[in-house]
Structure 1
Amino acid sequence: MSDVLLSPDFFTFIIIPLMIFCARICDVSIGTVKYIFISRGFKNIAPFFGFFEVIIWLLAIGQVMNNITNPICYIAYGGGFATGTYIGMVLEERMKLGLCIIRLITAKPAEEFILKIRKHGYGVTNIAAHGARGEVTLIFMVVKRTKISHLIGLIREFNPNAFFTIEDVRSASEGIFPREPINYPFSYFKRPFSLFAKRK
């Protein structure tokens, strides 16, 4: 067994492709997080991630060039890119940075619903409008991304068949938002450690 692990073929066809695969996961995931920070306005943090992204990418592409006749390296390079893209999207969902705008269109009378969400601390703008099937109410809400699931629950409770859209907001001035603890970019990753501390 030790002879197999120390053989040049094992290093060329297993270890190097595995290193390339892991490096691509890291640099693509970091790149995704970097673009999230840029789009959310964290311009001072994004260059820091960009530095490590390009360093790791150079290491990965360097190994591919050194083993250009090894087809497994190409597969590892592409597989790492695909996996890193998926992990980056998962990180984006977990981080929940920035703001979004929710547009709700409902034909159901919405006065009580508007009062209810205002009691929860959300800022609401409502407009009477005319839809394809008659009079409707158009409701605009700019909320923090951490509050999307809570607000969608309120919308479903009000009208399970309500039509609404959600879009990212790059920046906003002023506004009314529910009070909550400060949401740092990596606050999600502190939760496992806090749970472990409580168990002690």
Structure 2
Amino acid sequence: MSLDILHVDSWVFAWIILPLLIFLSRIADQSIGTLRLIFLSKGYKFYAPVLGFFEVIIWLVAVSQILKRMDNALYYVAYGAGFAAGNYIGIILEEKLSLGTVIVRLVPNIDSTDLINNLRENNFGLTLIDADGSRGAVKIIFLIIPRKQLKELVKIINTFNPNMFYTVEEVKSVKHGIIRRENSLINKKHFLPQIWRKSK
């Protein structure tokens, strides 16, 4: 009786628990790896080595389990599925964090005086440039904002001019100028160095 129980427990561990652990481990290390690469691309040098440390440790744990049992194809499936899911989850996490700064170019197709006044009232720093469009003279509005404020900006734009043409691009670094800031929980508690670069 006890041998049957041990056999069942061994089967459950080999075919359910361990593949699940490999899958979850691969999700964790690949999510961390994706975030690490994103941090590097955005110039956050402090976070990349820390994330890299945990990424490698988790990866070694997952790989070591596969190398011990190379005859079980389910482990390879769990490893590959975790890799794919980890990439997706890492990207979702980065979107939720909304790190970095973006430049937004607005090209109004109608008079945007009210929009401009509203943006200024909400402390958005903006620059106006006269330009010639395909249908005549236009004003191009430039704004540089933290990426996490982009949804708020788009909501304001849609309120005043839902059909406005605009583009959004990431900015590597910003120095000086008027940039609308909001204190994050991290900054208030001083748990980590400030993510946003200082501007004057």
> TM exceeds 0.5?
yes
In structure 2, which of residues 118, 121, 134 is the aligned counterpart of residue 119 of structure 1? Answer: 121
Q: What aligned pairs does 1:164-179 form with structure 2 within 5 A after superposition?
A: 164-179=166-181
Count the aligned residue pairs. Answer: 185
- Structure 1 regions of 5+ residues with no counterpart? 188-200
Q: Give the direction of change, closer, same or farther, for the CA distance of 1:183–1:33 in structure 2 (3 Å limit).
A: farther
What is the root-mean-square deviation in Å for CA atoms of aligned residues? 2.1
- Which shifted more, 9-18 or 147-156? 9-18
C-alpha contact 1:107 1:135 (8 A) present in aligned 2: no
Output the TM-score relative to the length of structure 2.
0.83
Give 1:12 deviation, angstroms. 2.2
**Paired-residue identity, %:** 44
Letter in 2 for 1:81: F
Give 1:102 deviation, angstroms. 0.9
Query: Are 1:6 and 2:46 an aligned pair?
Result: no
C-alpha contact 1:121 1:179 (8 A) present in aligned 2: no
Give 1:120 deviation, angstroms. 1.0
Give, in whole Å, the separation in 2 of the partners of 1:178 and 1:135.
29
Give per-residue Cα distances to partners, 1:156-196, cap 9 Å, x unaligned: 011101111212112110121234224538x9xxxxxxxxx
Letter in 1 for 2:9: L
- Structure 2 regions of 5+ residues with no counterpart? 190-200
Output the TM-score relative to the length of structure 1.
0.83
Give 1:64 deviation, angstroms. 2.1
Give 1:2 deviation, angstroms. 4.3
Letter in 2 for 1:113: L
Q: Give the direction of change, closer, same or farther, for the CA distance of 1:134–1:103 in structure 2 (3 Å limit).
A: same
Give, in whole Å, the separation in 2 of the partners of 1:73 and 1:182.
41
Give 1:5 deviation, angstroms. 4.2
Letter in 2 for 1:123: G
Q: Give the direction of change, closer, same or farther, for the CA distance of 1:100–1:2 in structure 2 (3 Å limit).
A: farther
